[in-house]
Amino acid sequence: MISRQQLIDQIKQKRSFLCVGLDTDIEKIPSFLKAYPDPIFEFNKRIIDATQDLCVAYKPNSAFYEAYGVKGLQSLIATWEYLPKDCLSIIDAKRGDIGNTSDKYAKAFFDEASSGMGFDAITVTPYMGNDSVTPYLAYDNKWIIILALTSSVGSKDFQYLTTENGFLYETVIQKANTWAGADRIMYVVGATKSTEFTNIRKFAPDNFLLVPGVGAQGGSLEDVCKYGMNKDCGLLVNASRSIIYASNGEDFADAARAEALKMQQQMEVELEKAGVI
């Protein structure tokens, strides 16, 4: 379990706020790995070994493991077990259901004794409201990361609807702020909307924001930091494909490290610029 302060300390120490997304796709990993009994885990293990001093969080995307049934779940569990305990472990699962069902999802991802996995944080979808997210908060020191403004095309369909309290995504943040504080809730905010960060910081000055969309999806790290960074950093910038698939050859782990290092160096500049380090 990683508290808010521990996360901040680690960001300062590693001079990085990088989250490496483990969207590991059997069709995209180097083919020589297929000789191993669990190619997906073998890939993740080498990515983790190559990047763990450069990042502060890892985020396996549950869908990529669920797609392969029992074998996929075994790879996910093995990956969770292998994650360095000083890094925040985020399961990107985007769950959301009524209370008695969210209890079970919390068990699935937070209760190691039950499921074999004990992630530090889970991404959740807000549509079903309060009782769909509060069961996760019953686990001390675990985090929920609520979808606010996502980076895909479909975000326009509903997240930008005007409600009585502003855009829907603003209302989500305002309402979720009443459920728990910045020590338990983060928000997902897509990097492709960097000018929106100023606005989001009005409602969520202290919360960490998990930011996908830098890299493969085209968002700019500099813009994200300019508009979104707060005095504690307050950002976890995720990169998945641009790091883990930097090379498709035997050198994939080295290539991933080189990409992660490039991002860490840019992050160090931004942290210094903002006076966080």
User: Rule CB under 8 A: which residues touch a second copy?
Assistant: 23, 25, 61, 63-64, 66-70, 72-74, 77, 92, 94-105, 107-108, 111, 114-117, 125-132, 147, 150-159, 161-165, 168, 171-172, 175
- SS3 track for the chain: CCCHHHHHHHHHHHCCCEEEEECCCCCCCCHHHHHCCCHHHHHHHHHHHHHCCCCCEEEEEHHHHHCCHHHHHHHHHHHHHHCCCCCEEEEEEEECCCHHHHHHHHHHHHCHHHHCCCCCEEEECCCCCHHHHHHHHCCCCCEEEEEEECCCCCHHHHCCCEECCEEHHHHHHHHHCCCCCCCCEEEEECHHHCCHHHHHHHHCCCCCEEECCECCCCECHHHHHHHHCECCECEEEEECHHHHCCCCCCCHHHHHHHHHHHHHHHHHHHHHHCCCC
Smallest gap from Cβ 226 to a second copy, in A, equals 24
Which residue's CB is nearer to a second copy, number 93 or number 233?
93
Smallest gap from Cβ 209 to a second copy, in A, equals 17
Query: Contact 119/90 with Cβ under 8 angstroms?
Result: yes
Which residue's CB is nearer to a second copy, number 17 or number 64?
64
Q: Count of residues for the chain?
A: 277
Among 12, 45, 94, 226, which one carries the catalytic annotation?
Answer: 94
Smallest gap from Cβ 245 to a second copy, in A, equals 12
Which residue's CB is nearer to a second copy, number 98 or number 269?
98
Which residue's CB is nearer to a second copy, number 14 or number 142?
142
Which residue's CB is nearer to a second copy, number 147 or number 271?
147
Told to judge if 94 belongs to the known catalytic residues of this protein, a careful annotator would answer yes
Which residue's CB is nearer to a second copy, number 105 or number 252?
105
Smallest gap from Cβ 200 to a second copy, in A, equals 16
How far apart, in Å, are the Cα atoms of 113 and each of 72, 100, 102, 138?
19, 19, 17, 16
Smallest gap from Cβ 212 to a second copy, in A, equals 8
Smallest gap from Cβ 64 to a second copy, in A, equals 5
| Whole-angstrom distance, CA of residue 150 vs CA of residue 263 | 21
Active site residues: 94
